[in-house]
Amino acid sequence: MALQCAPALAAAEAKAEAEKVQVPSLDLRAGQPLPLLGHWFAAAPGAKTAARAPAIVLLHGCGGAYGRKGELSERMQDYSHTLNAEGWHVLVLDSLTPRGERELCTQKIGTRAITMTERRRDALGALQWLAARPDVDASRLALLGWSNGGSTVLASTNLKHTEVKAAPLRPRAAAAFYPGCEADQKRGYAPTAPLLMLTGAADDWTPAAPCEALAREAQPSSGIAPPKSVSYAGAFHGFDAKTPVRLRADVPNGVKPGAGVHVGGQTEALAQSRIALLDFLREQLREPLRTQP
């Protein structure tokens, strides 16, 4: 299995320059769409890339899209390069700095400066921005998020949200790494697209159980496969990182509020989840819709 994942991991080592772009959110400020900062990784021309290629929106977690030195985080760069190698465009969306925030992880849920409503509007706005590009196949768009960004994926693909039901554009596929699933599980989840959730069985920040319940209890949507939840034994939050597991005592949320949460990578879960993600996206984005001109 590790050997199967090797080409994708090797592709992530390639150097690629991102173009900074401005992406209008559906979140309005003074009657105008809030301009978000995006990092556009165009798929390199080649055998895998058609004139109009699929595109994937990457939605960061509560820590934001950047590393300590202000560069795009290793995770965002890694996945962007890997997805580019598949012939897909990538848009890394920054929901925090345009609103004057650097991180949300140390803010208690319910008092966070940026809400899930705002993040959902960002994701829906990004889909519209992508669909308007001449190099993007608007019938093959996907959302991919981590943690708080994974929750954004759920909130952006749930027909129980009025904005989602009214949206003129829906993704072809959605994937979420260790999302917080409780809110949409309790609300009831009716998918607008096939959904893959990848969770850690030992996650004490955003536990796997609500995601498994969401997958079991999801309401059927015409022509859309039921959501799927895959859990990795012994894996903590952030299992797809290459850093060791550590306790984050500064996080007030989690299974035991005030006790901190564990975050860090697990080699097996990283490799297996990468295979699962790519297999899922390849299947969902394989063919353009026949209605696409």
pLDDT at 183 over 80: yes
Distance CA 52, CA 43 (A): 10
In the chain, % of residues over pLDDT 70: 91
Per-residue model confidence (pLDDT) at position 252 = 96
| 222 vs 218 pLDDT, higher one | 218
Per-residue model confidence (pLDDT) at position 63 = 97
Per-residue model confidence (pLDDT) at position 1 = 44
User: DSSP for 208-253?
Assistant: SHHHHHHHHHPPPBTTBPPPEEEEETT--BTTTSSSPPEEETT---
Per-residue model confidence (pLDDT) at position 51 = 81
Token digits for 239? 């299992």
* pLDDT-derived band at 289, boundaries 50, 70, 90: low
Per-residue model confidence (pLDDT) at position 93 = 98
* pLDDT-derived band at 135, boundaries 50, 70, 90: very high
Predicted TM-score (pTM) above 0.95: no
Task: Name the residue with tokens 């353009």.
Answer: 288
User: Model confidence over 235-267: pLDDT tens digits?
Assistant: 999 999 999 999 999 999 999 999 999 999 999
Q: Are strands 32-41 and 89-94 parallel, antiparallel or unpaired?
A: antiparallel
Per-residue model confidence (pLDDT) at position 6 = 46
Average pLDDT, stretch 45-62? 85
Token digits for 5? 């994942």
Closest CA to 55 of 94, 75, 84, 35: 84
Closest CA to 159 of 141, 184, 182, 135: 184
The continuous run of DSSP H or E covering 23 comes out as strand 19-29
Average pLDDT, stretch 28-52? 86
186 Cβ contact partners less than 8 Å away, ≥ 6 residues apart: none
Per-residue model confidence (pLDDT) at position 44 = 80
Average pLDDT, stretch 162-184? 97
What is the chain's length?
Answer: 293
pLDDT at 137 over 70: yes
- Single-letter code of the amino acid located at 269: A
